[in-house]
Amino acid sequence: MPALQQMTNYHTHSTYCDGKASPREMVDFAVAHGFTALGFSGHSPLPFENTYSITDYDGYCREVRALQKEYQDRIAISLGLEFDYVPGMLEDFSPLIEQGHLDYTIGSVHLIPVPGTTPRDGNDLWMIDGPHYERYDEGLNRLFGGDIRAGVRAYFHQQNAMLERNRPTILGHPDKIAMHNRSRYFKEDEPWYEELALETLALAHELDIIVEVNTRGIYKGRHPDYYPSRRLIKAMQQWRIPVIVSTDAHAPEDLLRTEGAYEYLAAIHYPEVLYTIR
Ligand SMILES: [Zn+2]
Ligand SMILES: [Zn+2]
């Protein structure tokens, strides 16, 4: 059990997107394990067929709001979305924020078009997430001609554009691009890579955006580090960027998988660790 004052999680999925459990099952598990706050952040609806984003947005908002009310004496539930920022496809978060009267937003990049092109559907997008690295390799080769630096640059620049345009409450897994790299195309200490990553984190600092410390790669056995990596977290200390630990839970038991993140942040004396969002 982590040594912490409060158990909270603001990066939570459910069966409304690609999670394994209903919102109520997630809440019941959280309450049973002493959580004081739980934020839902389903994958934002996207305008093309895919396996992971919300299709019934109104139903999602209605159900989380109903649970918020029903459980108000036991746990602070909030309604959010994990926005998928995609240039030419989903650039402006405000219509969905207004439609759902959202309490907060996570801004994430999973899908990358070639800069300057207008994507029509998933075929025009480099999918950098998901369980299989073969798909990452395929998209990199097909859309970026295998040029990893061009692909990585597009990823970080897309995040920068997202932060500037939408100022999400939380920046989601800012270096997830490294997951399926599996140390093959680049090493994370290469200066060109580190420069791009730090540019995004400096921008988060400038815009006063919380950065999550996402533990999912570790407990899914897909990546040996948090997103952002320990190396980047150490660099973030200079700006005192507020961080919040996220399990990116897709099933109830994921909520407990903080993977030593609180202990790590305490050990390096990280100055701004949040448990709840402002
Ligand atoms: Zn994500
Ligand atoms: Zn997520």
Residues 98, 41, 228, 91, CA torsion sign: negative
pLDDT digits (tens, 9 = 90+) for 241-252: 999 999 999 999
168 cis-preceded (ω within 30 degrees of 0): no
pLDDT, one tens digit per residue, over 132-160 is 999 999 999 999 999 999 999 999 999 99
Q: Is 2 a residue whose pLDDT tops 80?
A: no
For residue 31, how far is its CA from the centre of ligand 1 (angstroms)? 24
Q: Which residues contact 81 (CB under 8 A, 6 or more apart)?
A: 41, 42, 43, 44, 54, 93, 96, 97, 100, 102, 105, 106
d(CA 57, CA 271): 37
Ligand nearest to the CA of 19: 2
Domains of the chain: 7-274 (3.20.20.140)
* Ligand nearest, relative to CA of residue 13: 2
Among all bound ligands, the one having the nearest atom to the CA of 18 is: 2
**How confident is the prediction for the chain on average, in pLDDT?**
96
- Does 14 have pLDDT greater than 90? yes
- The pLDDT of residue 1 is 46
Dist. CA 243 → ligand 2 center (Å): 16
Taking the centre of ligand 1 as the mean of its atom positions, its distance from the CA of residue 77, in whole angstroms, is: 20
Residues in the chain: 278
- Name the one residue in this structure whose structure tokens are 């029903």: 70
Question: Which pTM value belongs to this model?
Answer: 0.97
